[in-house]
Structure 1
Amino acid sequence: MTITITTSNVNGIRAARRKGITAWAGANTPDVWCMQEVRAPQEEIDPIFAEFGAEYATAGKIGDRGELSAMNEVCRVKGRAGVGLLSDLPVIDRRYGLPGLDEDVDSGRWIEADVRTPQGYVITVACVYVHAGNSDDEIKMAQKYR
């Protein structure tokens, strides 16, 4: 049995929702779905993730929408970054952020989930959104290398 891990730069989850990503979720139902550039506050992410869960349930991947594991980290800089991860496989452990990165601009960029595969293996999936950086801008490059 294989598992599907998908990564998507959603370029704003609210905009992606308006453009049909909920239907995409129902049609594709990856076992683990990593999202970058979620760019929304928690109170707007939760209902969208619940919609994705309903799509997974309708597709028969899970029994009900509450069985879709969800985790995310919101960037402390409004309208920037943000990562999310959904899994219809059991999530054994979750980690948020990287130790030592305390600047607001570094938030909402790294989450990890330990996921149990149908074969019983535990794999670590990291959902990462890295600073773009610009060789002409020392500050941006320093952020990227951090």
Structure 2
Amino acid sequence: MLRIASLNINGIRAGHRRGFGDWLATRGCDVVALQEVRAPLDKLPESAFGDFHVSYEPGQLAGRNGVAVLTRERPVAVRTWDAEVLVRALGEDHLHTEPAPDEVPLARGLGRHAHEGRYVEVDLAEAPITVASLYLPKGGLPAHLQKPGRMREEPDGGARYERKMRFMAAFARQLSRTRRAAAARGREFLLMGDLNVAHTRLDVAAWRRSQRAEGFLPEEREWLDAQLSPRTLVDVVRAVHPETEGPYTWWSWLGQAYARDAGWRIDYHLATPRLARTAVAAVVDREHHGVRLSDHSPVVVDYDFGS
């Protein structure tokens, strides 16, 4: 049995103040994917990643992004988008800068994002699985939906929206290459992370009024739909809970969204079909000892793989 989790921690230092260290030490996970770690190497808290081996791509944007995969055993290989990666066990100090010999070439359009700390993948030693952590850009509204005075952010003429759509188009090409490369190595593939897209009406509490909101736009949902099929990648949590509203993974800090469970499901496990079929349980840890670890919550899946 492998227990695998994904969490947008929204800052590793804030996460530790809220109890992330205790959750990590007691939850019994074998693999944890993190997004928005948001800490340069010299600002990481002591024992930031517990007693796990960590593969951490911090990116070069101060105070933003940063993705990691934590594993019980040292990974067989680590890959990212042409960036430096911290690869170490507790007490070690090592920076992995050499590309893996089987590094997949970057798809056209992703090079401009290589420094942002959005993607890292590892080959597990525990099982023939390649595990990836992704933080997809939040994006924004297209220009025609932007209404000055009715937005929290200043109108930008659709620039954030267009950037996200370009990223998704490029990443779709990269995802296909990466999945096939894992298969060529004899490995299943698992993409986890904050995709900043809710897929269906079951994935947003207030779906009717969210249809003109970033993260639930028709073109974003169509993009995610195109990545999924019974032959390529399966949305594991939805497969385990086919008719459930949610389980939601993100709630605004504002108002009573969390208390009312008015959330969004934007954090995913997307697995190759054989791996997805072994999922026996999938839960969202809404809180730990009564405290939210982040504005997101961990998505924890038990895979009965290899038994």
3-state SS in 1 of match to 2:24: helix
Equivalents in 1 of 2:121, 2:77: separation in Å? 8
Q: 2:7 matched to 1:8?
A: yes
Which of 118, 121, 129 pairs up with 1:112? Answer: 121
Cα distance in 2 for residues equivalent to 1:11 and 1:112: 20
Structure 2 partner of 1:71? 55
Equivalents in 2 of 1:145, 1:46: separation in Å? 36
Q: Distance in 2 between matches of 1:130 and 1:122?
A: 25
2:168, 2:139 → 1: CA distance? 5
Unaligned residue ranges in structure 1 (runs of 5+) = 54-67
Number of aligned pairs?
A: 127
Tell me which protein shows more strand as a share of its residues. 1
Structure-2 residue corresponding to 1:141 = 165
Identity of aligned residues (%): 31
Q: Point out where structure 2 has 5 or more consecutive residues left out of the alignment.
A: 83-105, 143-157, 171-307
> Is this contact kept in 2: 1:77–1:105, CA < 8 A?
no
Moved more, 31-40 or 68-77: 68-77
User: Secondary structure of the equivalent of 1:85?
Assistant: strand
**Larger Rg belongs to:** 2
CA distance in 1, matches of 2:168, 2:5: 23
Q: TM-score if structure 2 supplies the norm length?
A: 0.38
| Bigger fraction of residues in helix | 1
Show structure 1 runs of 4+ deviating over 6 A: none
What amino acid maps onto 1:112 in structure 2? E
Contact 1:74 1:81 in 2 (8 A): yes
Q: Distance in 1 between matches of 2:169 and 2:65?
A: 16
Cα deviation code 1:28-85 (max 9, x no counterpart): 13100100010111122373435x11xxxxxxxxxxxxxx311111121111111011
